[in-house]
Amino acid sequence: MSATSSEQTLATAVLSGDRRALARLITRVENRAPDALEALAILHSHTGRAAIVGVTGAPGTGKSSLVNALALALRRRGQTVGIVAVDPTSPFSGGAVLGDRVRMVDLAGDSGVFIRSMASRGSLGGLAATTGDVVRVLDAAGFAVILVETVGAGQSEVEIARMAHTTVVVDAPGLGDEVQAIKAGILEIADILVVNKADRPGAQNTVRTLRAMLELGHRLRTGGHHGVRAVAAAVQAEPVFDSWTVPVIETVATEHKGIDELLAALDRHQAHLRETGEITDRERQRVEAELLARLREALLARLLAERPPEALEKTIQRILRRELDPNTAVRALLEDDLSSPDGKG
Amino acid sequence: MSDEKIRVLIAKPGLDGHDRGAKVIARALRDAGMEVIYTGLRQTPEMIAEAALQEDVHVVGLSILSGAHMALVPRVIEQLRAAGLDDVLVLVGGIIPDDDIPALQAMGVSAVFGPGTSTDDIVRFIRSAVQLSSP
């Protein structure tokens, strides 16, 4: 009871703009403290107002510097900015060095900005498992724009596209050739492509390669159907192409060059999402994906709680001894049919 | 299923540009399973307190090699208190004369680690001083 009311107090304090409470609630959410769920439930009805922008790309392309420059430009327009910067957790120690603030010193002392570093804590999709909830807390706290910087991403860390309204993929000269550019994955999720460090040799090559890739064909829309009204009309088996033309923007983030162009592209993309109704589609997909993920986790927790504590370890041992194959093991665990506790040798 | 980590802010206040020690500590704390927010060089006391608040850290570690610790540390502590962060553990590392240590501790510094301190000692100190699962 007292825990519940303390979480209510924390949620109320966050809504009233208390930055300490905001920081503390984010910690609770990150730690998956059971009572943080209560606060998230209270905050949920206050979410949905922020523009969520993802910034991703390979390590060293300048994501943090770009976030710094972009946040400054947004502040000049009078918009408040929440920043979530994710860095990898060491798989060996569970610790992390979170260094994105080093590039964000220009934002210090501005109460219209809130920066939070997050460790990925074992998640592989470029974000932490709780990043979505942390974004939601910042949304409820009233930040107009939330910039989410992923870990230095390779080719498959595409989770950000599901969370953000607009995904900015940052590239830099000298990182890849034309074959890299047509591979599926990180470039495919870009709503806006940025070639940062555009004053470096080879930048024009990178720009040309990316433009050429974009000309190979229109991008597929991020799954799903064409808004609620179209659902009854057609269950689409065909791919849906996006009418949005992905711009390639050159920046030198450390010198704040090209940032106005990037901001204009962000504005155009937000307008595009609203005009085409895609924003509703994306929201729906995000809610569906999140619901399924949470359900999966909850079902797993429930199943494991119902089985004897040693069931999992014993099954693992039996698979290791080649007595059981993984698929049969899953069926056995689901049906609670683990004949003979020690696997009968 | 709570998954709590010790969070530590490592900052270099003042103007000296030597951050090797700070990086060694950051790395050692990472290897001890802590989440280390590294803020880099030339941080003002205001910036340090603001980062400590936003990152909700248990510990603020200050690395000072310039000799300006008697001027910088009280200002950092003052800013932390102004931000309501009285419960944050403040550690100082770097070139600190023994004679200054009692005065720093009187200001609210929990421990001072000079050159040659084993990183294991720092890890042990933090682990014993920080209680997780606080309210």
pLDDT band at A214 (very low <50, low <70, confident <90, very high): confident
* CA gap A21, B11 in Å, rounded: 23
Chain B: residue whose CA lies nearest to A27? B56
| In chain A, % of residues over pLDDT 90 | 58
Q: Are residues A56 and A181 in the same domain?
A: yes
- pLDDT confidence of residue A165: 94
Interface test with A, best of B1, B4, B5, B47 (most A CBs within 10 A): B5
pLDDT at A222 over 70: no
- What is chain A's mean pLDDT, rounded? 86
**CATH code for the domain of A192:** 3.40.50.300
Provide the ipTM. 0.92
pLDDT value of position A184: 55
Give the residue-averaged pLDDT of B32-48. Answer: 93
% of chain A beyond a pLDDT of 70: 85
Q: Please name the residues in contact with B27: beta carbons below 8 A apart, sequence gap of 6 or more.
A: A97
A145 and A241 inside one domain: yes
**Confidence at residue A224, expressed as pLDDT on a 0 to 100 scale:** 45
Strand, coil or helix: A97:
strand
Lowest mean pLDDT among A147-151, A155-159, B69-73, B85-89: A155-159
B-chain residues near A90 (CB < 8 A): 30-31
A168, pLDDT greater than 60: yes
Residues B54, A141: Cα–Cα separation, whole Å = 13
Of A59 and B123, which is predicted with more confidence?
B123
Residue A141 contacts residue A75 (beta carbons within 8 Å): no
Give the Cα separation of A74 and A77 in Å (integer): 5
Q: Does any domain span residue A326?
A: yes
Residue B120 forms contact with A (CB below 8 Å):
no
Q: Do B53 and A31 touch (CB under 8 A)?
A: no
Assess whether A69 and A174 both reside in one domain: yes
Q: Which of A34, A92, A102 sits opposite B39 (nearest CB)?
A: A102
Answer CATH for B7-68+82-128 from 3.20.20.70, 3.40.50.300, 3.40.50.11540, 3.40.50.280:
3.40.50.280
Spatial neighbors of A46 by CB under 8 A, at least 6 apart, are: A15, A139, A140
The mean pLDDT value for A132-155 works out to 92
Interchain contact, A93 vs B44, CB within 8 Å: no
Nearest to A69 by CA among A263, A264, A267, A247: A263
Q: Which residue segment(s) compose the domain that A86 sits in?
A: 47-295
3-state secondary structure of A161: helix
Q: Please write the tens of the pLDDT for every residue from B66-85.
A: 889 999 999 999 999 999 99
Domain end point (choices A253, A273, A295): A295
Asked whether the beta carbons of residue A94 and residue B33 sit closer than 8 angstroms, the reply is: yes
Does B28 reach chain A within 8 Å, measured CB to CB?
no
Whether A5 contacts chain B with CB within 8 A: no
Same domain, A342 and A281: no
Q: Is the domain of A100 the same as that of A195?
A: yes
How many CB atoms lie under 10 A from the CB of residue B46?
A: 15
Task: Specify the 3-state DSSP secondary structure of A167.
Answer: strand
Distance from CA of B88 to the nearest CA of A (A): 13
pLDDT of A265 reads 98
Is A300 within a domain? no
Asked whether residue A301 is domain-assigned, the answer is no
Q: pLDDT tens digit string along A283-323? A: 888 888 889 988 998 899 899 899 988 999 999 999 999 99
